[in-house]
Amino acid sequence: MYRIVVEALALVRAQGVGVLLERINKPKAWRRLIYGWLQFRDWKPILARKYLSGQGLEIGALHNPLPVSAGACVTYVDRLDVAKLRAHYPELSGLNFVNVDIVDDGEVLGAVPQASQDFIIANHFLEHCENPLGTIRTHLSKLKSGGLLFYTVPDRRMTFDWKRRNTPFEHLISDDANGPHQARIEHYREWAALVLDKKGAEIDETAAKLMRERFNIHFHCWDKRALRELFERARTYLANGFDTAIFRPNGPEIIVILRREA
């Protein structure tokens, strides 16, 4: 549940505690959170211990690395070193961060050799990617044959994204084919309007500010049905480069394990 806390603190940093209190006081927000909590049993460590072994990566673990079995050796990747991560996330002060072994863009993994990993873990990462299809393609390329991608993705209905629409697959194709820059400002405008509740001219002003700062938003979002469709269509789009081993709701998120084909 720490991701929900992190998102709440990020909203406070951006808009103040009053906005957070107003948001959580809405009945729809409570219904979604209660629905997620009532069904919640965390399957991530259970499935990780069952499926992950060998040498792999975890992207963006911060202070909450995924527990794995003794047969799995994890190298930690993040876009900043620990000192800079602490400065970027002051709300997490006092918590122990994992040591960042590789400083790299998790969407690109330029420092990671091709076909070198048995698994890659990226929890609550795909929604932050500007080019999710390109990211999946890159992650698959870093895996050995039969290697596993272990993703969890929030169900937008149980997050601050609940007002937003599912990202259409055609939009993801456009991001991959034309580059994410062509839609970047629209993502920030949507975030300003539907997550931060800005109105009128404030939408453009807030979006421009967030874009200048490269504020780390959910560029895309999906509910369970739309996320299943994403991976079904991505399999064809990415030339049948994977099959889906696990697609499992996990409270307010969905666990997806993909296996790279030979």
Whether the CB-CB separation of 130 and 185 falls below 8 Å is answered with no
> 129 by DSSP, 3-state: which?
coil
**Structural domain that includes position 124:** 1-73+107-262
DSSP H or E stretch at residue 3: helix 2-15
pLDDT on residue 44: 96
Say whether pLDDT at 194 is over 70: yes
125 pLDDT higher than 90: yes
8 A C-beta contact, residue 121 and residue 110: no
**Would you say residue 79 lies in a domain?**
no
In a domain, residue 101? The reply is no
- Mean pLDDT within 101-109: 97
Residue 84 has pLDDT above 70, yes or no: yes
Could you tell me if residue 237 is inside a domain? yes
94 located within any domain: no
Q: Is residue 37 very low, low, confident or very high in pLDDT (cuts 50, 70, 90)?
A: low
Does residue 256 fall inside a structural domain?
Answer: yes
Q: d(Cα 98, Cα 117) in Å, to the nearest integer?
A: 19
**Residue 92 DSSP code:** G
Task: Report how many domains make up the chain.
Answer: 1
Whether 142 and 122 have beta carbons less than 8 Å apart is answered as no
pLDDT of residue 129: 97
Could you tell me which residues come within 8 angstroms of residue 232 by beta carbon, excluding any fewer than 6 positions away? 244
- CATH code assigned at 125: 3.40.50
8 A C-beta contact, residue 82 and residue 99? yes
102 is a domain residue: no
Contact (CB, 8 A) for 253 and 43: no
Residue 92 and residue 63 in contact, taking contact as beta carbons nearer than 8 Å? yes
Per the document, the length of the chain is: 262
Can you state the percent helix, strand and coil of the chain, rounding each to 5? Answer: 45, 20, 35
Average pLDDT for 73-100: 93
Tell me the chain's radius of gyration from C-alpha atoms. 18
Q: Where are the alpha helices (DSSP H) in 121-200?
A: 132-141, 169-178, 184-190
Residue 125 lies in a domain: yes
d(CA 107, CA 53): 22
Lowest mean pLDDT among 3-12, 154-163, 174-183, 187-196: 3-12
Residue 2 has pLDDT above 50, yes or no: no
Residue 80 lies in a domain: no
